[in-house]
Amino acid sequence: MLLVTKVSKRYATSSAALFSGITLKVAAGESLAIMGASGCGKSTLLNIIAGLVTSDSGSVVIDGQETSGLAESLRDAFRAAHIGMVFQQFNLIDCLSVVDNITLPARYLKRPYQQRLALLLQSMGLEHKQNSAIGDLSGGEQQRVAIARALIHSPKLILADEPTGNLDEATSDTVADCLFSLAKSHGAALVVVTHAKEIAARADRAVVIKHGQLEPLTNL
Ligand SMILES: Nc1ncnc2c1ncn2[C@@H]1O[C@H](COP(=O)(O)OP(=O)(O)O)[C@@H](O)[C@H]1O
Ligand SMILES: [Mg+2]
């Protein structure tokens, strides 16, 4: 589903490469956790996979489509149709209700969403909050809205950047349960960036970015 081959990145403002020759593979229905010290390039790698940041070299292939070479407008369209993103800072739209935030990607794509919306509201425990304003929600509830929005259009690939980063342990557990089980039951490939070992341990595989390279993590 996702094949990243020999991807390298150096920001123009930095003298050293952030990472070089990173290769990874995630199958449909499989989950991968990416760990590593703050600033090692986890968000950059996720954004390269999403096509939001360009790499210096290497390729990203998603569901058979090489996305790294696509023109920006095609890459944006591809991302909207096939990728669900959970951003670290949620990126929810404050002037829209919970339901309108969640359904936005599906409405943009003109895809039916009623059945899936009901399922997501139920599994995220958001049924009673569906008409609330975003500002009236707790951090944990906003995080679950962000996850539901990433899943509403049945993406083949879900990219989540520290999806439990701002949550207390109990909420973090519930949110992770939802994210991992929904991804698996929908056969989506899931890439989760996380600091939390408990979250990484839930993934089928875990890797760490160290000295600009990807290393497998086994003893979680
Ligand atoms: N747009 C950018 N331009 C220049 N440097 C950046 C940019 N984005 C991130 N960086 C730098 O690249 C490094 C890795 O950042 P990031 O990918 O956000 O790391 P992580 O998510 O692992 O904390 C940091 O040193 C950060 O300051
Ligand atoms: Mg980050």
Q: What is the pLDDT of residues 107-145, one digit of tens each?
A: 999 999 999 999 999 988 899 999 999 999 998 899 999
The predicted model gives 13-37 an average pLDDT of 96
Q: What is the pLDDT of residue 121?
A: 94
Give the sign of the dihedral formed by CA 120, CA 122, CA 124, CA 130: positive
* Ligand 1 atom 4 nearest Cα: 11
Domain ranges of the chain: 2-217
Cα 140 to chain centroid distance, Å, stands at 17
Helix, strand, or coil (residue 58): strand
Q: Which two tokens stand for residue 74?
A: 């095609």
CA of 193 relative to ligand 2 center, distance in Å: 8
Give the pLDDT band of residue 215 (cuts 50, 70, 90).
very high
Over 80: is that where the pLDDT of 219 sits? no
Buried b (16+ CB within 10 A) or exposed e, 123-144: bbebeebeeeebeebeebbbbb
Confidence of residue 178 (pLDDT cuts 50, 70, 90): confident
What's the mean pLDDT when you consider all of the chain? 94
Q: Is the CB of 135 under 6 A from ligand 1?
A: no
Q: How far is the CA of 191 from the centre of ligand 1 (A)?
A: 18
Confidence of residue 160 (pLDDT cuts 50, 70, 90): very high
Give residue 90's pLDDT band: very low, low, confident or very high (50, 70, 90). confident
Across 52-56, average pLDDT? 95
Q: State the distance from the centre of ligand 1 to the C-alpha of 93, rounded, in angstroms.
A: 24
* Phi, psi dihedral angles at 192 (to 5 degrees): -120, 125
Ligand positioned closest to the Cα atom of 17: 1
- Please indicate whether residue 54, judged by its CB atom, sits closer than 6 Å to ligand 1: no
Residue 189 one-letter amino acid? A
Superfamily in which the 2-217 domain is placed by CATH: P-loop containing nucleotide triphosphate hydrolases (3.40.50.300)
Ligand located closest to 165 CA: 2
**88 pLDDT tier (thresholds 50, 70, 90):** confident
Q: Quick one: average pLDDT of 183-194?
A: 94
